[in-house]
Amino acid sequence: MKAHLSAFALLVCSGLSWAAPVDGGIEGLYAGVAGNVIGIEGAKAQLPQPGVDPRDALAALLAAPLSADAAVRIALLNNPELQAALGAEGLSITDATGRETPAKLRAQQAVTVLSAQAFKAWVNAVATAQAAQLLREAKATAETSGELMRRMVRVGNVSKLAQAQSQAALSDAALAVVRAEQAAFAAREALTVTLGLWGNSAQFTLPNKLPDLPAQALDLPDVEARAVQARKDLQAAAQQWQRKQQTSVPGSADALWDAMGDAASVRAQAVQLRSQARTAYFTYRSNWDIANDLHTHVLPLRQFIHDELVLRYNGMLTSLFEVLADRQTQTLVGNASVMAQRDFWLAHANLQALLAGAPLDAIGTDAIGSAGEARAASSKVGH
């Protein structure tokens, strides 16, 4: 999956036939309803068509391991809440009405928000499944170490204290696996609901890992201006206030207070949005730095340490216990790297949705600093 999320969709109504081609330059078609479709790369993003059975399209998208692109496409086609929202607007979002009517702005935001939610749900589902698998590997290593410890206790080469410590480590590893599997199950269910699936269609297969990080983080010095420009509702509020100021002159104290309140209301929205833009970009950039550091520096260093320990073990210069303990540490650092990748892609989706004009409170923000905690955890287990 490419890192940039640049595709746009059009909602076009002709009678009862709806489609969503990406090309926004087609004359006569309204280009603003669907907004930025987060996660879609390609020529088309199909939206629900009244009276058309989507099962064949869904089956085709679900035939292979579910990609982020496919997840977003399925959500746009099949999510019942989106269908209800578009159905409530009805003919108000067709070409028969103006280009930027309130109905079309609401529909545009609904599609943008859902596409971001589907992308983030997919990221969480893949990351938690990947993390659970890594923790199962760590548990298997702990089991191997525990079995070796029991054998050595029986012949008197290891103390019972060392055996108890090994058993405690195995219990911790087993508990971590259970919690990771709970998280993976919950994340998959959240994705299933977002996609509007049930029954056999809910038995989709996820890829084994998240997409690689982009080679470089986006450089967005104008992120505030772009976020403000994308929010059509804020622009409409500002234009309404300007028209009111041009058409009427406050002639009383009450009118002056009202004018100040109107201006302050618009300014408060802009101040909040600019802060969200700065925060979204800072979170995106810092999460890229953390995930890139783990992938580029920490993981190769842990691999080098493990390889050196294996060489020393082959030369009878270290014990098998030390090799196994380092192998478990290496797996846990890998888990921290996966969580950092997850945090980056979630921050990436938040930033792109904000730049597409969607309010972040509708998308659901993510805890800031979770990638940093993963990086700290990797440093801790490495000692």
DSSP string, 192-249: HHHHT--GGGG-----SSPPPPPSS----TTHHHHHHHH-HHHHHHHHHHHHHHHH--
In a domain, 309, yes or no: yes
158 and 304 fall within a common domain:
no
Nearest to 119 by CA among 155, 54, 69, 77: 69
Residue 253 and residue 154 share a domain: no
Q: Among the three residues 154, 169, 202, which one is the final residue of a domain in this structure? A: 202
Helix (H) or strand (E) holding 145: helix 102-154
In a domain, 332, yes or no: yes
Let me know if residue 163 belongs to a domain.
yes
- What the block records as the tokens of 101 is 């009517």
* Strand pairing report for 12-14 and 17-19: antiparallel
Query: Which one-letter DSSP state was computed for residue 210?
Result: P
Q: Note whether 126 and 43 are same-domain residues.
A: yes
Judgement on whether residues 44 and 165 belong to the same structural domain of the protein: yes
Per-residue pLDDT, 13: 24
Kindly state whether residues 197 and 289 are assigned to the same domain.
Answer: no
Same domain, 129 and 195: yes
Domain annotation covers residue 103: yes
Whether residues 353 and 268 fall in one domain: yes
- Rounded to whole angstroms, the Cα distance separating 170 from 163 reads 11
Q: How far apart are the C-alpha atoms of 258 and 372, rounded to whole Å? A: 46
User: What pLDDT does 59 receive?
Assistant: 93
Domain assignment present for residue 169? The answer is yes
Would you call 336 exposed, middle or buried from its count of C-beta atoms within 10 A (0-12, 13-18, 19+)? buried
Q: Would you say 30 and 46 are in contact if contact means Cβ atoms under 8 Å apart?
A: no
What tens-digit pLDDT sequence spans the chain (383 residues)?
A: 433 332 222 222 222 222 232 332 222 222 344 455 666 654 456 777 777 788 899 999 999 999 999 999 999 999 999 989 888 887 777 666 766 777 888 888 888 899 999 999 999 999 999 999 999 988 888 888 788 778 877 887 777 887 787 788 888 889 989 999 999 999 999 999 999 999 999 999 999 999 999 999 999 999 999 998 888 777 777 767 767 766 777 667 776 777 777 778 878 888 889 999 999 999 999 999 999 999 999 889 888 887 777 777 676 766 767 777 777 788 888 899 999 999 999 999 999 999 988 888 888 766 444 444 444 444 443 34
Cα(368)–Cα(290) distance, rounded to whole angstroms?
A: 12
Count of domains observed in the chain: 2
pLDDT at residue 7 in the model: 27
pTM of the model: 0.80
Six-digit token string for 16: 């009862």
Residues 37, 138 share a domain: yes
* Same structural domain, 277 and 143: no
Same domain, 97 and 172: yes
Residue 48, domain extent? 12-202
User: H or E segment at 89?
Assistant: helix 80-89
Question: What span, in angstroms and rounded, lies between the C-alpha atoms of 276 and 281?
Answer: 8
Assign 291 to helix, strand or coil: helix
Distance between CA atoms of 320 and 109, rounded to whole angstroms?
A: 57
- Give the pLDDT of residue 37: 67
Residues with Cβ within 8 Å of 377's Cβ and at least 6 positions away in sequence, in order, are 332, 336
Q: Give the C-alpha separation, 107 to 104, whole Å.
A: 5
Q: Which helix (H) or strand (E) holds 13?
A: strand 12-14
Question: Domain ends where: 202, 234, 269?
Answer: 202
Q: Is residue 73 part of a domain?
A: yes
Rounded to whole angstroms, how far apart are CA atoms 158 and 207? 43
Residue 120 and residue 231 in one domain: no
Residue at which a domain ends, from 202, 233, 257: 202
- What is the dihedral sign for C-alpha 187, 193, 194, 197? positive
Q: CA–CA separation, 249 vs 378, rounded Å?
A: 63
Residue type, 324: L
Domain assignment of residue 115, yes or no: yes
Q: CB within 8 A of 59, min separation 6: which ones?
A: 201
My answer on whether 19 and 90 are in the same domain is yes
**Cα angle for residues 307, 309, 313 (degrees, 5° grid):** 120
Q: Tell whether 270 is covered by a domain.
A: yes
Quick one: tokens of 112?
Answer: 């943008």
Question: What phi, psi does 121 have (nearest 5°)?
Answer: -65, -40
Question: What letter represents residue 220's amino acid?
Answer: L
How far apart (Å, rounded) are the C-alpha atoms in residues 263 and 241? 7
